[in-house]
Chain A
Amino acid sequence: MDFVVILQAGVASGTVLLFATLGEILAERSGVLNLGVEGMMLIGAMTAFSVTIATGNPWIGLLTAMLFAGLISQIHAFITVTLQADQVVSGLSLTLVGAGISLVLGEGLSKAGTVSLMPNFSIPLLVQIPVLGDIFFKEQSVLVYVGYLMIPLAWYYINHTRPGLHLRAVGEYPSAADALGINVYRLRYFYVFIGGIFAGLAGATISLAVSPGWFSELTTGGQGWIAIGLVIFAQWDPFRAALGSYAFGALRRLILDIQAPLTLFGVDNPFYYNPYLSFFLQMLPYAFTVIVLVIGSREAIRKRLGAPAALGEPYIRGERGK
């Protein structure tokens, strides 16, 4: 078991969670909770894989996946922003619809064979940094590097640009934003769309880079839900989101690698001698999500931090002074 390898692979598989979490952060910052991440990721993974097979070009697959997931997200935007329905139930239904559509359209794809994947490469110079170079900059997928760029960009965009200010205003105090001439409805549609695009990118990252292929619902295996949990842990901050995502990525890899060696820390490896115990290892990402939620929620109470004030509330123009 080589920890550098685990972390290297962890960064790659954590990139999936990173994209999904960043997208959900942007949507939630505008005041729309979208529980459809899992469904949009499935749509993205299926679309990316099938379009890449059809065209032979993973970039076209990637872009189509982002676009299709973004379009699907607009169902949620229409139902919650225009029709002002409950965001929880609408998001759930989006997950079911996304899973259903991707199963129907992805029928037979799992036998379609291999496709050309997103390219992997090392970053010159940076790769020579001891340990960190191996973990972060050696033979990673181009999407992993895109992930590195997204973290500071998203942070800067939210906290230090004018559109980012509008985004936060719409999520915290929509009626004040409206009074300042910001179109609350349009911005919410837009950020739900951006969230969908990111979820589609996350799904495409699975099927075109991290674990290539289409394995029906097992392709995402609940990562969309973990991402929603990570948003709460991250307290809507891109840097904390990155920390959580990469940690979860490393955990996924650790679970695979811990079963191989004969001894662990000098004693017989129980997971090697009793492979059924690996079912307990498989619980870990989900159990950790619950633990991370407890930590995040307690911290939020203590520091009086919280979700965007208008999260989950439909904005109805002219109704009450919210």
Chain B
Amino acid sequence: MAEWTASKKRGALRVQLEPRLDVPPAWFPVAVSLGAVFVALILGGIVIAFSGGNPFATYAYIARASFGDIGVLSDTIVKATPIILTALACSIAFRMKLWNIGAEGQFIMGAWGASAVVLAPLLPPETTRWLFIPAMALAGFGMGGVWGLIPGYLKAKFNVNEIISSLMLNYIAVSWVNYWVFGVWSEGGFQMSPKFPTNASLPRLSDYAETIPFFRGLTTHAGLIFGILAAIALWFIVYRSRWGYEIRLIGDNPRAAKYAGINIVRNTILVMALSGALAGLGGVSEVAGVVRRLQTAPLNAGYGFTGIIVAWLAKLHPLAIILVSILFGALILAGREIQPSGIPKMIQGIILVCLIASDFLLRYRLRFTRGEVE
């Protein structure tokens, strides 16, 4: 039990910490997380002011540029879609206390896998969309899975720290995709592949504007369906299946899980592969729904790292991840036009710091007392 005194305040105000023995009410963790985000925005504002900007104008701009009308709201959802999938990827690995921070690389490899179907080409360009999209999704899911499986296997068999190995694979994935983008599939020497045919792209709402005029100009694409289906499937796996029970038990108490006869080696490999595959599906959604060609920069935009924060803020809950992703989609969308350009990244980092710090309030109860104690 730690304690300290804030003696500068009137008299001796003592703050005493006691471990929480009771389970706090359901609203309490949510309130603490929201409070942490609020504090993070204040801290971020201080840094913005320090670097010569106006924090109020910046935040007002972010809100307007991401939720201001139906058009930008649609763009916000487009930015949220890849984050939903990378955050789901992180959440399932974190649930087992496997620190997969390679979602960024798995995302890019997924995009590469989907692109290979179009560009290699594994399927002729006139293939129907109903075959093309599932084939691309499967290829991306598989490539992402392989990229997650590698650190999972090394962790399970050689006890290699998965944090570093998964992160190193991010850099390798970027070089790998660069090789194909610059060399093999380059379109006339530019640093991008040729555009995918329409059959190989995920449909956007605006594609149906002729029948439903309301959809005119809306960029939200079918990748969102991947994200929502994956979230529901993951919710079912984690909370309603035997496998999910095993994953949660290993995460909460690996020793108990071991004595219960749960195969930790196999689960480590499987969960890392599933995590990578989900991130890979995010890459498929982004490459087929937004970029519509293989190009490194828009894919290597930090969705994997944002996924870590979103997963944490959503307390690893698959359905909460959808909501939190939309908030972060807004931050990223508006952030593109904010100067200095590092602000969205900095705010994300500060939010994560405040969140971790705030977890303390869930584990301890603060008691304020005046005068001499004990």
Contact = CB atoms under 8 A, between A and B. Distances in A.
Contact of B342 (A104, A225, A280, A283): A104
Given A279-B176, A280-B179, A293 B164 contact: yes
Contact of A107 (B178, B340, B352): B340
Secondary structure type dominating chain B contacts: helix
A270 interface: no
A160 to B, nearest CB: 29
A287 interface: yes
Contacts of B163: 35, 88, 228
Interface string B176-220: 101100111000000000000000000000000000000000000
Contacts of A83: 356-357, 359-360
B160 interface: yes
B353 interface: yes
B265 interface: no
Secondary structure type dominating chain A contacts: helix
B168 A286 contact: yes
A6 B276 CA distance: 37
A93 B342 contact: no
A4 interface: no
Contact of A297 (B160, B169, B363): B160
Interface residues of A, number: 57
Interface residues of B, number: 51
A300 B161 CA distance: 12
B352 A92 contact: yes
A297 B158 contact: yes
A279 B346 contact: no
B175 interface: yes
Nearest to A287: B172
Interface string B313-356: 00000000000000000000000000111110111111011011
Contact of B1 (A78, A280, A318): A318
B132 interface: no
A103 B167 contact: no
A304 to B, nearest CB: 13
Interface of B: 1-2, 47-48, 50-51, 99, 101, 154, 158-161, 163-165, 167-169, 171-172, 175-176, 178-179, 182-184, 305, 308-309, 312, 339-343, 345-350, 352-353, 355-357, 359-360, 363
Given A89-B356, A279-B178, A279-B182, 4 more contacts: A79-B356, A100-B350, A290-B154, A298-B158
For the complex of A and B, 9 pairs with smallest distance between CB atoms: A103-B342, A100-B346, A96-B349, A276-B183, A107-B340, A97-B349, A93-B352, A279-B179, A286-B168
20 contacts: A35-B163, A89-B312, A95-B349, A96-B349, A98-B349, A100-B346, A101-B349, A104-B51, A104-B340, A104-B342, A105-B51, A107-B339, A222-B167, A225-B164, A225-B168, A279-B183, A280-B179, A290-B154, A290-B169, A317-B2
